[in-house]
Amino acid sequence: LVHDQQSGVDVLERVNDVFRDVFDDESLSVRPETTAADVEGWDSLMHVRLIIAIEKAFRVRFSSSEVASLKDVGDLIGLLQTKAPASQAQ
């Protein structure tokens, strides 16, 4: 499946897939406003696990400051959209 343009909806869907894998919960559904407090087990170690899984799924690489700046899922999607062009060269 090739996305010519990364709409927020596409990215959210793909991000949600990664969340389900990482948290091992097929019923999990995240929204842009979802924060760590809303998901059970989303602690600092799980956060890194998640970041590494997102990097792999989207073929991007985050810097330490980017990771530190994320407040919610919406921030993550915004960040992925700025990186999307490179990530689509699959």
Residues that bind another protein (CB under 8 A): 21, 24, 44-45, 48-49, 51-53, 56, 62-64, 67
Report the nearest approach of another protein to the CB of residue 26 (Å): 8
Angstrom distance (rounded) from CA 52 to CA 38:
20
Report the nearest approach of another protein to the CB of residue 83 (Å): 15
Report the nearest approach of another protein to the CB of residue 89 (Å): 21
Angstrom distance (rounded) from CA 85 to CA 80:
9
Q: Taking the CA of residue 3 as centre, how many other CA atoms within 13 Å lie in the half-sphere pointing to its CB?
A: 16
